[in-house]
């Protein structure tokens, strides 16, 4: 079983548990979870605690217990992390957090779209793109844009597993393929 599949299962179980049993504090818990995941990617020391198998489970629990006692993480998040440590799945922490974010977006009827432009697009263009994508999907779009001069012009949008290519480069590639 792949790590993404395992991470998604743990995320789904945790997401369901929190929403069913701690709905009033769910937003705070997701915020804490996200902050820890960010810390994991920005602090090599913290990442080492999570990924290093030579650090004992008791030492890892003590570190997270100190975070709980200081009020930086909730009891619910601490208990979940303790399960991850016990099951030797703490190394999947960042992947689990990404999956939790996907569950949150699904629950809020949101979907992430990644748009690639040749140059920085103005707000009016982005708003029109979001409006069209929302009409297409029936969901609220969270747009993340990137710049890639190689697309020459137009836009390429990745929406879930779908790719919409309205770039000049994409059209030239299609033309080239039809001529060969």
Read off the pLDDT of residues 81-109 as tens digits, 9 standing for 90 and up: 999 999 999 999 999 999 999 999 999 99
Ranges of CATH 1.10.520.20 domains, the chain:
3-106
* C-alpha dihedral (28, 101, 128, 115), degrees to nearest 10: 140
* C-alpha dihedral (30, 33, 34, 36), degrees to nearest 10: 160
22 with 32: CB under 8 angstroms?
no
**CATH class name, domain 109-179:** alpha beta
Between CA 85 and CA 87 the distance in angstroms is: 5
Tell me the β-bridge partners of 163: 158
Q: How far is CA 19 from the centre of its chain?
A: 18
Q: How far is CA 171 from the centre of its chain?
A: 31
Read off the pLDDT of residues 1-57 as tens digits, 9 standing for 90 and up: 889 999 999 999 999 999 999 999 999 999 999 999 999 889 999 999 899 999 999
DSSP string, 1-47: --HHHHHHHHHHHHHHHHHHH-GGGHHHHHHHHHHHHHHHHH-HHHH
Residue 55 is predicted with a pLDDT of 93
Percentage with pLDDT > 70 across the chain = 100
Read off the pLDDT of residues 144-170 as tens digits, 9 standing for 90 and up: 999 999 999 999 999 988 999 999 999
Structure tokens that stand for 67 in this block: 């975070």
Ranges of CATH 3.40.30 domains, the chain:
109-179
152 with 168: CB under 8 angstroms?
yes
**H-helix or E-strand containing 126?**
helix 123-137
CATH architecture, range 3-106? Orthogonal Bundle (1.10)
Q: Is the pLDDT assigned to residue 180 strictly greater than 90?
A: no
DSSP state of 151: G
Between CA 136 and CA 178 the distance in angstroms is: 29
114 with 146: CB under 8 angstroms?
yes
Strand ranges inside the chain, DSSP E: 110-117, 140-147, 154-159, 162-167
């Amino acid at each position: 079983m792949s790590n993404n599949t395992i991470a998604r299962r743990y995320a789904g179980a945790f997401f369901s548990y929190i929403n069913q049993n701690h709905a009033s504090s769910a937003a705070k818990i997701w915020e804490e979870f996200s902050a820890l995941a960010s810390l994991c990617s920005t602090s090599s020391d913290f990442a080492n605690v999570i990924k290093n198998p030579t650090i004992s489970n008791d030492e890892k629990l003590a570190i997270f217990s100190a975070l709980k006692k200081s009020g930086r993480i909730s009891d619910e998040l601490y208990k979940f992390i303790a399960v991850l440590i016990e099951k030797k799945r703490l190394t999947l922490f960042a992947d689990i957090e990404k999956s939790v974010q996907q569950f949150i977006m699904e629950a809020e009827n949101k979907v992430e779209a990644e748009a690639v432009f040749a140059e920085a697009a103005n707000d009016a263009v982005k708003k029109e793109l979001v409006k069209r994508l929302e009409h297409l999907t029936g969901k609220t779009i969270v747009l993340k844009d990137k710049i890639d001069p190689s697309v020459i012009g137009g836009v390429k949008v990745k929406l879930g597993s779908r790719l919409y290519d309205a770039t000049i480069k994409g059209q030239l590639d299609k033309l080239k393929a039809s001529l060969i």
